[in-house]
């Protein structure tokens, strides 16, 4: 049996396992082989080969005995390296935590284990989830599986790549400003950030706690929904996919940006045509404060990151490099982390607090008010997932405005605690995947996934 | 606001980070660029007034005792 990119869907694997067309051990061996065959992409920091095989053999025995298995029995799931798995290294891809193992499971891991999922490994990421290219990892960059000369996006680039190559059928990531949705878009998979709090964050290493959210990547919206059912406590987990009433999608002139590539703009038009064909109605909404969303995100996330990372000193927490706290922190953190810590401290302390941090809180509230007004007129908002497709490894971000602005659409959902999803929809002229991004109302997570499924038809 | 090397050294001390003189020059460019980027928020009218000082939240999401050196 071969799990390639076209049939790497959770529902297909689940059916084959349930119908005993394939055994658990046989299936997991295929995924482990895929990991080995794609090692050069560098998407895993640790592969749990022994544990995965042990779990698969256990499931084969239990299935043969006729025992009731969990809802995700035998489904291989990869875990971002900032989510604690008991007994496994939880390094956040930073030298500061390299080699340090977690002594307990994150809440999401407890739920996956209880559902009999198979944890297949930890995935590479930007250091402490700080980045949009996966180039700040202490383990080196992840390569984009579609074009190896390009970035996979970040910070959950390893998770997106792991799904795309068929080494797992779903992966967990974390999303603070687009860290699941942007790499999903660049790699051609579905990336979903739930409503803030819908999935427990307990057991992740925080970057910016008011914005962080554990989320899910998979090959399709159905795969995401299957994992979401296990990880969340939503009572409504099934939505009739037949549209009984007119769905309204909001688009805003404020979303137009001069740096948007023509490929992205054309893809957006094609998505609009497809949705219109399925009876969706488009309405114009106003989000005048959208122009400040990225700047707002920058101030708030950097300020929170400076505090979250303040505890790492190599004495009490993190690796000791043989000096005092300043020496250890200087050695332990990479440049991007240090840059954000410096700016975050600058924005949030004493004389700058009112000017920057308090103002940013005010702008966040205004953005939330404007989004509430927009959602009074529509069910979903639609934007591109990113301003451009995956860019080249080693690009100078500061020299390209569109790269620096790549999170401008995704940060909205984090600032307003809303669910959002990136769905692959076509390619640019170079054959690189492009994602369409939808934002939904609070707690309408399953509705959102069901709606986004239209683009997969 | 003008970002000076003296200011950056004060911030670095608060952050418990060391930088070389060359890195400070590079950081100054980063600060200048970032502060220019965030200027846009001052064009957005807000009426928010904090009754008491709000601090960025600290996480309780992980048991940090389990990440000791």
Q: How do residues A226-268 score in pLDDT, each as one tens digit? A: 999 999 998 766 555 445 679 999 999 888 877 788 999 999 9
Confirm whether A156 is a catalytic residue: no
Spatial distance between the Cα atoms of A155 and A77, rounded to a whole number of angstroms: 18
Q: Across the interface, do B46 and A292 touch by the CB < 8 Å criterion?
A: no
Pairing between β-strand A190-193 and β-strand A118-123 as defined by DSSP bridges: unpaired
Burial of A65 (0-12, 13-18, 19+ CB in 10 A): exposed
Query: Chain-wide mean pLDDT for chain B?
Result: 82
Arithmetic mean of pLDDT, A277-296 = 96
Measuring CA to CA, which residue among A228, A225, A156, A227 is closest to residue A186?
A: A156
Q: Which pLDDT score, from 0 to 100, does residue A255 have?
A: 86
> What sign has the CA pseudo-torsion A100, A103, A107, A109?
positive
Whether residue A302 contacts residue A340, with contact meaning beta carbons closer than 8 Å, is answered with yes
Q: Which pLDDT score, from 0 to 100, does residue A369 have?
A: 96
| Beta-carbon contacts of residue A361 (< 8 Å; ≥ 6 apart) | A300, B48, B50, B54
Spatial distance between the Cα atoms of B8 and B24, rounded to a whole number of angstroms: 7
Q: Token pair 């205004």 is at which residue?
A: A366
Arithmetic mean of pLDDT, A414-425 = 98
Spatial distance between the Cα atoms of A319 and A99, rounded to a whole number of angstroms: 9
Q: Which pLDDT score, from 0 to 100, does residue B59 have?
A: 60
* Domains of chain A, first to last: 10-231 (3.90.1300.10)
**Nearest beta carbon to residue A345 from set B15, B44, B50:** B15
Under the banding of pLDDT at 50, 70 and 90, the label for residue A220 is very high
Q: Which pLDDT score, from 0 to 100, does residue A354 have?
A: 87
A333 vs B contacts (CB less than 8 Å): 17
Domain boundaries, chain B: 1-38
- pLDDT tens for each residue of A73-106: 999 999 999 999 999 999 999 999 999 999 999 9
HEC per residue, chain A: CCCCCCCCCHHHHHHHHHCCCCCHHHHHHHHHHHHHHCHHHCCEEEECHHHHHHHHHHHHHHHHCCCCCCCCCCCEEEEECCECCECCECCCCCCCCCCCEECCCCHHHHHHHHCCCEEEEEECCCHHHCCCCCCCCCCCCCCCCCCCCECCCCCCHHHHHHHHCCCCCEEEEECCCCCCHHHHHHHCCEEEECCCCCECCCCECCCCCCCCCEEEEECCHHHHHHHHHHHECCCCCCCCCCCCCCCEEEECHHHCCCCCCHHHHHHHHHHHHHHHHCCCEEEECCCHHHHHHHHHHHHHHHHHHHHHHHHCCCCCECCCCCCCHHHHHHHHCCHHHHHHHHHHHHHHCHHHHHHHHHHHHHHHHHHHHHHHHHHCCCCEEEEECCCCCCCECCCCHHHCHHHHCCCCCCHHHHHCCCCEEEEEEEECCCCCEEEEEEECCCCCHHHHHHHHHHHHC
Whether residue A23 contacts residue A232, with contact meaning beta carbons closer than 8 Å, is answered with no
Q: Which pLDDT score, from 0 to 100, does residue A451 have?
A: 95
Q: Which pLDDT score, from 0 to 100, does residue A397 have?
A: 74
- pLDDT tens for each residue of A307-325: 999 999 999 899 999 999 9
Angle at which helices A293-308 and A335-348 pack, to 10 degrees? Answer: 100
Q: Across the interface, do B41 and A295 touch by the CB < 8 Å criterion?
A: yes
DSSP state of B59: P
Measuring CA to CA, which residue among A41, A8, A36 is closest to residue A145?
A: A41
Q: Which pLDDT score, from 0 to 100, does residue B64 have?
A: 52
Q: Which pLDDT score, from 0 to 100, does residue A401 have?
A: 73
Q: Across the interface, do B59 and A327 touch by the CB < 8 Å criterion?
A: no
Arithmetic mean of pLDDT, A142-147 = 98
- pLDDT tens for each residue of A110-123: 999 999 999 999 99
Distance between A107 CA and the closest CA of chain B, angstroms: 10
Q: Which pLDDT score, from 0 to 100, does residue B67 have?
A: 53
Distance between B11 CA and the closest CA of chain A, angstroms: 6
Query: Chain-wide mean pLDDT for chain A?
Result: 94
Spatial distance between the Cα atoms of A230 and A61, rounded to a whole number of angstroms: 23
Q: Across the interface, do B48 and A313 touch by the CB < 8 Å criterion?
A: no
Under the banding of pLDDT at 50, 70 and 90, the label for residue A5 is very low
Q: Which residue of A has its CA nearest to B64?
A: A317
Spatial distance between the Cα atoms of A382 and A323, rounded to a whole number of angstroms: 50
**Nearest beta carbon to residue A361 from set B33, B44, B48:** B48
Distance between B64 CA and the closest CA of chain A, angstroms: 7
Arithmetic mean of pLDDT, A432-449 = 96
Confirm whether A133 is a catalytic residue: no
Spatial distance between the Cα atoms of A112 and A118, rounded to a whole number of angstroms: 8
Interface of A with B in 340-399 (CB under 8 A): 341-346, 348-349, 353, 356-363, 365-366, 398
| pLDDT higher than 70, residue B69 | no
Q: Which residue of A has its CA nearest to B43?
A: A292
Whether residue A224 contacts residue A190, with contact meaning beta carbons closer than 8 Å, is answered with yes
Confirm whether A179 is a catalytic residue: yes
Whether residue A423 contacts residue A438, with contact meaning beta carbons closer than 8 Å, is answered with yes
Interface of B with A in 25-54 (CB under 8 A): 27, 30-31, 33-34, 37-48, 50, 53-54
Alpha helices in B1-69 (DSSP H): 5-15, 21-38
Considering only A166-170, A224-228, A362-366, B51-55, which range has the smallest mean pLDDT? B51-55
- pLDDT tens for each residue of A44-58: 999 999 999 999 999
Q: Which pLDDT score, from 0 to 100, does residue A405 have?
A: 84
Q: Which pLDDT score, from 0 to 100, does residue B58 have?
A: 64
């Amino acid at each position: 049996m071969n799990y390639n990119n076209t049939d790497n869907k959770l529902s297909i694997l689940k059916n084959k396992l349930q119908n005993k067309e394939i055994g658990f051990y046989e299936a997991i061996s295929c995924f482990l082989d895929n990991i080995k065959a794609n090692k050069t992409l560098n998407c895993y920091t640790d592969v749990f080969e022994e544990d995965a095989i042990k779990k698969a053999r256990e499931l084969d025995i239990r299935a043969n005995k006729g025992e009731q298995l969990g809802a995700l029995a035998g489904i291989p799931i990869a875990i971002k390296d900032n989510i604690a798995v008991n007994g496994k290294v939880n390094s956040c891809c930073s030298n500061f935590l390299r080699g340090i193992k977690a002594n307990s499971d994150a809440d999401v891991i407890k739920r996956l284990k209880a559902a009999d999922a198979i944890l297949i490994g930890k995935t590479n990421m930007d250091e402490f989830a700080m980045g949009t290219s996966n180039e700040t990892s202490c383990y080196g960059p992840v390569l984009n599986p579609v074009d190896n000369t390009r970035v996979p996006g970040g910070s959950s680039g390893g998770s997106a790549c792991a799904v795309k190559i068929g080494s797992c059928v779903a992966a967990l990531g974390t999303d603070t400003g687009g860290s699941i949705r942007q790499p999903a878009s660049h790699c051609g998979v579905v990336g979903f950030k739930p409503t803030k709090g819908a999935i427990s964050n307990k057991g992740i290493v925080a970057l910016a706690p008011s914005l962080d959210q554990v989320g899910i990547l998979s090959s399709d919206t159905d795969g995401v929904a299957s994992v979401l059912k296990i990880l969340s406590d939503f009572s409504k987990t099934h939505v009739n996919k037949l549209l009984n009433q007119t769905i309204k999608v909001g688009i805003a002139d404020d979303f137009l940006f001069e740096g948007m590539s023509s490929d992205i703009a054309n893809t957006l038009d094609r998505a609009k045509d497809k949705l219109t064909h399925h009876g969706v109605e488009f309405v114009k909404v106003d989000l005048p404060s959208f122009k400040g969303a990225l700047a707002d995100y920058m101030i708030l996330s950097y300020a929170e990151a400076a505090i979250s990372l303040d505890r790492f000193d190599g004495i009490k927490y993190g690796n000791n490099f043989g000096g005092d706290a300043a020496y250890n922190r200087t050695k332990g953190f990479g440049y991007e982390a240090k840059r954000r810590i410096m700016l975050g401290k600058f924005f949030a302390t004493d004389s700058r607090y009112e000017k920057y941090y308090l103002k940013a809180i005010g702008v966040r509230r205004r953005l939330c008010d404007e989004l509430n007004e927009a959602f009074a007129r529509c069910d979903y908002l639609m934007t591109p997932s990113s301003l451009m497709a995956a860019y080249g490894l080693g690009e100078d971000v500061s020299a390209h405005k569109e790269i620096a602005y790549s999170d401008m659409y995704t940060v909205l959902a984090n600032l307003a605690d809303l669910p959002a999803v990136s769905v692959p929809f076509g390619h640019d002229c170079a054959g690189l995947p492009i994602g369409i991004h939808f934002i939904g109302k609070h707690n309408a997570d399953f509705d959102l996934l069901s709606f986004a499924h239209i683009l997969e038809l | 606001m003008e970002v000076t090397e003296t200011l950056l050294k004060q911030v670095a001390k608060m952050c418990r980070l060391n930088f070389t003189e060359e890195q400070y020059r590079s950081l100054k460019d980063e600060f200048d660029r970032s502060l220019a980027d965030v200027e846009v928020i001052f064009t957005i009218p807000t009426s928010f007034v904090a009754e008491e000082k709000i601090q960025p939240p600290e996480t309780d999401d992980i048991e940090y005792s389990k990440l000791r050196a």
